[in-house]
Structure 1
Amino acid sequence: MTDQNMFDVVVVGYGPVGQAMSILLGERGYRVAVFDRWPSLYPLPRAVFHDHEIRRVFHAMGIGKDVEAISQPSAKYQWFNADWKTLVEIDWSAESISDGPVGYLFNQPSLEALLDRKARSLPTVSVQQGWEATGLTQFADHCELTLRRGTIGAGTWTPTGETQTVRARYVVGADGANSFVRRSLGIDFEDLGFQEDWLVIDLKPNEGVKLDVPDIGQWCNPARPTTMVPGGPGYRRWEFMRLPHETVEDLQKPEKVWELLAPWVGPDNATLVRYAVYRFRSLIAGAWRIGRTVLAGDAAHQMPPFMGQGMCSGLRDVWNLTWRFDLILRGLASDTLLDGYTPERRPQVRAVIDASIAMGQVVCISDHEKAAERDRAYLSGQVPPLPPFPGLTDGLICADTDFSCNGMAGLLSVHGQLDDGANTLRYDDAVPNGFHVITLDVDPEQILDEDARATLARIGARTIGITTDRAKMVPGRVVFDASGKYRRFFDEHGARAVIVRPDYYVFGAVRSLGELPTLVHALSSRLSLVDWHAMN
């Protein structure tokens, strides 16, 4: 019998990462309680960028169209030297693997409002703001979280004296850089060495004002390294590095703010939304899971903002956790499935942090001679391009030689448009989320044996064939690759069939369709499904 006083998952922290975790589990019908110390949503902008992969996650939450309405496609990301010569250009407006541009700019308060409405609309999600976690105890089959209530007055959080204790099968700490959950578990951060203070300014230009400023740019000027980006539709952001001779207090004076903005905008044609000095750091937790408690978002990692991946990385964390919790809470897999979370996410995040640091080291040069050396290297073409965005290198992927298909296992899978003979629509709209078996030019059901079909049915996996030959279409089973992306993806790696995980990463691939049942068996064994032989 279900214990009605026991939540499936308690989430600590109600920023975008905690909101997303609550929505993704609540959409699947699990009982979730989410707590945050602050009585209301944070009203000021912070993150401004999300990428194509995260756009798919928003669609999976059922808010894709709403997010589109509050964001704008990215332009090219350009780095300039002091003389405005282009050092680096990254085309974030280009077509991505996920069907649409590489990146988007948005206003975080607008996004959080959307996520909040979605979370509160779910009947199994309990949102409780104004509650600070003060105690966490783990038992063999559940966790207990103690909380105290507080109010905000004059910017100060004051406890009311009211407390409560809740029980949950699992706890997710998404409670930010100063995470109570991380500290209660005794987990330390590894400092990767980057630390710089930057003044971050958000403003709203007056109606009709056109600013003469790069759309998305880094002005790598040693006199004052500067970032300029949209802050979502109708907003702009500037970031200015603190120079060695300046104090944080110097930068936070209103007259200093307008002095720095003066080359581009003034108080007569824009309104300040906020300004504050942030310390950009590079930190990563040594462990992301202990027992029934896991960390996500800034509680597990922090990075410089030069790749726009801080919030994106946190959302990848909870997207990775969602399908694991789903199998565990359905009783199909033991919680050893959570063992793969850290080996998958930590190396990927570490690679993103390292790339962000490398980008920051290019931007954050205040020495004129070193800046001149940098400029000569970039302008002469001596600097290699940035490496591709990292995939998964460990965890639940079948990277054996027989099933990697030139490194296909662990890559983010392609996403494109399908034609079923009646309509053209997004793949994610055509095929419900879950494990997917995708074959080229043939119905996968014709290839799978009885054991493979039983395995896939048990975990709710979907099977679909995709073709670029309309003569090979089979109603409801083999659909047309309207974008051509699937054929190119398969051909690039010499694959005839792939298994894609619910978080869109490739588990494994085969060059011969006859190997597909073996790949399904490999998935079954690595998922460690509970009582598989006894239940079949």
Structure 2
Amino acid sequence: MADQNILDVAIVGYGPVGQSLAILLGERGYNVAAFDRWPSLYPLPRAVFHDHEIRRIFQAMGIGKEVERISQPSSTYQWFNADWKTLVEIDWSAESISDGPVGYLFNQPSLEALLDEKAKSLAGVSVQQGWEATELRQFPDCCELTLRKGKMDGNVWVPTGETQTVRARYVVGADGANSFVRKSEGIAFEDLGFQEDWLVIDLKPNEGVKLDVPDIGQWCNPARPTTMVPGGPGYRRWEFMRLPHESVEDLQKPEKVWDLLAPWVTPQDATLVRYAIYKFRSLIAENWHSGRVVLAGDAAHQMPPFMGQGMCSGIRDAWNLAWRFDLILKGISSSELLEGYTPERRPQVRAVIDASIAMGQVVCISNQQEAALRDEAYLSGQVPPLPPFPGLTDGLICGEERYAAHGAAGLLSVHGQVSNDGEQLRYDDALPNGFHIIVLDGDPEQHLDVGSLLALKRIGAQTIGITADPRKTVAGRILLDVSGKYRRFFDEHGVKAIVVRPDYYIFGAAETLSALPVLVGKLESRLCLLDQPSGETPITRVNAV
């Protein structure tokens, strides 16, 4: 098929994951169309938490300051038993590896409005709301997507009879749990076994009202397991588990909602924003990539909310895909680079789901005797602390022992304040996004051969030194480690250099600078680089109409 009138990427679904991918690709100059069944953004709260890694991605999108205005740093996440004795504390306010607290709370409609504004401001991005995908076909050089237009008649989506067909080199299904894209490719979900119904309530306390409630907490009370969290600045959320003897209908009555909220808040104290029953589930797609079609977000995975990682995991998917598409569409790498997407993302998300299930199994106990045994185990210190957040274990990382030095390969890289030619700023703001070769107390280029330098130039990599000694700095080449985080990270892992991917994960590390050229060669060999340009370069923008 001819290349005329073909989009680079078509995104089905325009929630935070689809919006993020549209922004990340649009900022790189690609022609992207995002389609969503609903004529407007979803107006009610859903996700309320994002972590430090996602905040770093928002910074990369150029909306860091705007996101800061609509969110608040998290405090300590506490789990209590029925008698309000503390079972678990997770300090989400602590300093993270990403230069800021571990987590933040936000209001999703406010976040989606920011993402929507950013996406629609990009010349290469076309956002088409009110279009439902109905057919997807793959060809050797592109995909063909058929859509039908609809409008809302009250609360019912009604087709108007208008249709369109668009072609794109790649299609991303970010279209939620009931993903049309996933089903069209015949990709099955693996059910990991967790399933509970919870009533989710969002409300806005009246001005001046202060509620006597833990800031972020799980009340592990077998009489009614309950979650209490901020819903972003000015909002609060409660979640109540449906008990075995209750029906879903029991929990959907307004009087029942206020009855459950009564210990903390009354109708005189706050305005009810919404309430809904959600089935918390644990599902993961068996494969996230099929030819020119990939899945992201809830289309690929669903998890209980107890770690606050549902939306975060989806945005990580978009972040992972963005740099892969960038290399492919520039004609630097072949489409085989997408083969690493599932091996990277699926194990990490599976580990997050497993941890979320484990946390849910602690919270969702409605039997008094089981709860008593749980309390005894936690209060006596028999339960080990939660494991660290998982990194990457497969895909584009150098797992050989020599280059995975002390577990550095696959970890999220350190990030902190640096000084460049007297100006103090975040490392990510000091340098363009891409592959980075970072050396402690030196200039990487002095330790790389001509072949390594040519390979790094081809992929647009940055070669940067970091030092704690102001006398060793060189403007634009060797930056001052103002925060001290880089020195601590390198010393902790016993390395002198790290190779960092565009999504901030470490490809590999070198214990000696003499090993750096070999590590760069391993990166080059793993990127599916083409000998000649593939012709898959950005084309003149074509609106899908």
**TM-score of the pair, normalised by structure 2:** 0.97
Aligned match of 1:399: 399
Superposed counterparts of 1:458-473, under 5 Å: 458-473=458-473
Aligned counterpart, 1:519:
519
Per-residue CA deviations over 1:362-407 (Å, capped at 9, x if unaligned) read 0000000000000000000000000000000000001101101111
**Cα distance, 1:153 vs structure 2:** 1.2
1:93 aligned residue:
93
Task: Tell me the distance in 2 between the aligned counterparts of 1:523 and 1:368.
Answer: 55
Correspondence for 2:44:
44
**Matched residue SS, 2:203:** strand
Deviations 1:80-101 (A, max 9, x none): 0000000000000000000000
SS in 2 for 1:312: helix
Counterpart amino acid of 2:330?
R
Identify the residue that residue 508 of structure 1 maps to in structure 2: 508
* Cα deviation digits, residues 75-133 of structure 1 (max 9, x gap): 00000000000000000000000000000000000000000000000011000000000
CA distance in 1 between partners of 2:332 and 2:421 (Å): 36
Give, in angstroms, the shift of residue 533 of structure 1: 12
Aligned to 1:362: 362
In structure 2, stretches of 5+ residues that fail to align are: 535-545
Q: Match of 2:331? A: 331
Within the alignment, does 1:495 sit opposite 2:495 as a pair? yes
Q: Any idea what the Cα deviations from partners look like across 1:411-460, whole Å, max 9, x if unmatched? A: 00000000124111000000110000000000111111111110011100
Q: CA deviation at 1:471?
A: 2.0
Q: Deviations over 1:204-231 (max 9, x none)?
A: 0000000000000000000000000000
- In structure 2, what is the equivalent of residue 194 of structure 1? 194
SS in 2 for 1:218: strand
Q: Do structure 1's residue 342 and structure 2's residue 342 form an aligned pair?
A: yes
**SS of the residue 1:23 aligns to:** helix
1:294 paired with 2:285, answer no
Cα separation, 2, equivalents of 1:367 and 1:522: 54
SS in 2 for 1:123: coil
2:144 corresponds to 1:125:
no
Q: Does 1:239 align with 2:204?
A: no
DSSP-derived class of the 1:177 partner: coil
Aligned runs of 1:212-223 on 2, under 5 Å? 212-223=212-223
Determine the C-alpha separation between the residues in 1 that align with 2:528 and 2:176: 32
Measure, in 2, the Cα distance between the counterparts of 1:144 and 1:195.
Answer: 36
SS at match of 1:298: helix
Q: Distance in 2 between matches of 1:209 and 1:440?
A: 51
Does the residue aligned with 1:401 lie in a helix, a strand or coil? coil
Distance in 2, matches of 1:495 and 1:435, equals 18
Counterpart in 2 of 1:373?
Answer: 373
1:137 corresponds in structure 2 to 137
> Does 2:229 align with 1:204?
no
Q: Give the secondary-structure state (helix, strand or coil) at the position aligned to 1:402.
A: coil
- Matched to 2:489, the amino acid is F
1:500 CA drift (Å): 0.1
Question: For the residues of structure 1 that align with 2:93 and 2:4, how far apart are their CA atoms?
Answer: 48
Q: Note if contact 2:188-2:286 (Cα within 8 Å) is conserved in structure 1.
A: yes
The reply on whether 1:34 has 2:42 as its aligned counterpart is no
Q: CA deviation at 1:470?
A: 1.6
- Aligned residue for 2:406, secondary structure, equals coil
Once the two structures are superposed, the pairs formed by residues 55-134 of structure 1 within 5 Å of their partners are: 55-134=55-134
Matching residue of 2:436: 436
User: How many angstroms apart in 2 are the aligned matches of 1:326 and 1:524?
Assistant: 16
1:171-320 equivalence runs, <5 A: 171-320=171-320
> Relative contact order, CA 8 A, sep 6+: which one is greater?
2
Out of 472-481 and 250-259, give the one that drifted further: 472-481
In structure 2, how many angstroms separate the alpha carbons of the residues matched to 1:39 and 1:476? 46
Q: CA deviation at 1:280?
A: 0.1
d(CA) in 1 for partners of 2:187, 2:339: 16
Shift of 1:16: 0.2
Aligned-partner Cα distance in 2 for 1:464–1:406:
22
Distance, in Å, in 2 between the alignment partners of 1:129 and 1:89 is 42
- Mapped partners of 2:141, 2:270: distance in 1: 55
CA–CA separation in structure 1 for the residues paired with 2:441 and 2:22: 38
List 4+ stretches of structure 1 deviating above 4 A: none
Show CA shifts across 1:336-359 (max 9, x none).
000000000000000000000000
Post-superposition offset of 1:472: 1.6
- Provide the rounded CA distance (Å) in 1 between the counterparts of 2:475 and 2:357: 50
Aligned position for 1:152:
152
Alpha-carbon shift at residue 4 of structure 1 (Å): 4.3
Does structure 1 conserve the Cα–Cα contact (< 8 Å) formed by 2:332 and 2:533?
no
CA distance in 2, matches of 1:152, 1:321: 32
Structure 1 position 3, deviation (Å)? 3.6
Paired amino acid for 1:334: S
Give the drift of 1:322: 0.4
Paired residue type of 2:121: S
- The question of whether the paired residues in 1 share the 8 Å contact of 2:421 and 2:474 is answered with no
CA gap of 1:48–1:193, structure 2 versus 1, over 3 A, is: same
Structure 1: which 5+ residue stretches go unaligned? none
The CA distance in 1 between the partners of 2:483 and 2:149, in whole Å, is 52
TM-aligned CA deviation for residue 2 of structure 1? 8.9
- Look up the SS of the partner of 1:319 in the other structure: helix
Tell me how far apart the structure 2 counterparts of residues 475 and 43 of structure 1 sit (CA, whole Å).
47
Task: Note the C-alpha offset of 1:283.
Answer: 0.2
What's the CA shift string for 1:289-321, capped at 9, x where partnerless?
A: 001000000000000000000000000001000
Match of 1:390 in 2: 390
Q: Which moved more, 1:472-481 or 1:435-444?
A: 472-481
User: Secondary structure, in 3 states, of the residue corresponding to 1:78?
Assistant: strand
Aligned to 2:540: none
Deviation at 1:267, TM superposition (A): 0.3
Q: Is the 8 A contact 2:76 2:89 kept in 1?
A: yes
Alignment of 1:162-177 (within 5 A): 162-177=162-177
Is 2:13–2:175's contact at 8 Å kept on the other side of the alignment? Answer: yes
- The whole-number CA distance in structure 2 between the counterparts of 1:505 and 1:332 is 20
Is the 2:146–2:165 contact (alpha carbons within 8 Å) kept by the matching residues of 1?
Answer: yes
